Amino acid sequence: MEDRTRQEQASPEVRARVRADFERQGLMRHLGARLTHIGPGSAHIVLPGRPEVTQQHGYFHAGATSAVADSAGGCAALTLFPEGTSVLSVEYKINLLAPAVGDHVEAVGTVLRAGRTLTVCRLEVFAVRDGERSLVVSGQQTLIRVGERPGR
């Protein structure tokens, strides 16, 4: 398991910009997701377990895990984009490796290649139960850099 205390943090300005972008996402607020790490080319989002984010068998719903994975990748990419730009997902593909069971899930987005227009990220989601992490989702995402929308 990665030592979270040694992870590099993005600059305060970048963290503030990424956090502001994340806080504008109504779905993340609705799900109860929290942005817990912002580093250069990386971001972590925690989604606490509660009945509203589960499916019929009591596991975290794939829609919830894929949504936080998508947002983690977007936040990771945004750390490398210049001020005045934003990000949109072009596509993503995930593999559901195991049922997500635990106290919470943690989505990790990591930039694999940042380009002027398109950026590719690795997406991972870990189920955390009693402090033990297990990989439950693996995927890849392509994002496009866009200008910020007026009034945002």
Output the pLDDT for position 150. Answer: 61
Output the pLDDT for position 71. Answer: 98
Q: 2 pLDDT exceeds 50?
A: no
Judged on CB neighbours under 10 Å (0-12, 13-18, 19+), 50 is exposed
Q: What is the mean pLDDT of residues 102-131?
A: 97
Instruction: Give the Cα-Cα-Cα angle 119, 144, 77 (nearest 5 degrees).
Output: 50
Token pair in block for residue 131: 């402090």
What is the per-residue pLDDT across 23-69, written as a single tens digit (0 to 9) for each?
Answer: 999 999 999 999 999 999 999 999 999 999 999 999 999 999 999 99
What residue segments make up the domains of the chain, in order of their start? 4-147
Beta strands 34-39 and 104-114 are unpaired
Evaluate the CA torsion angle 17, 19, 20, 22 in order and state its sign. Answer: positive
CATH number, domain 4-147, options 3.40.50.720, 2.102.10.10, 3.10.129.10, 1.10.1740.10:
3.10.129.10
What is the per-residue pLDDT across 81-106, written as a single tens digit (0 to 9) for each?
Answer: 999 999 999 999 999 999 999 999 99
Output the pLDDT for position 7. Answer: 80
Is this prediction's pTM over 0.85? yes
Q: Residue 57 carries which side chain, given as an amino acid letter?
A: H
Output the pLDDT for position 148. Answer: 76
Lowest-confidence pick of 5-9, 124-128, 132-136 = 5-9
Beta strands 104-114 and 118-129 are antiparallel
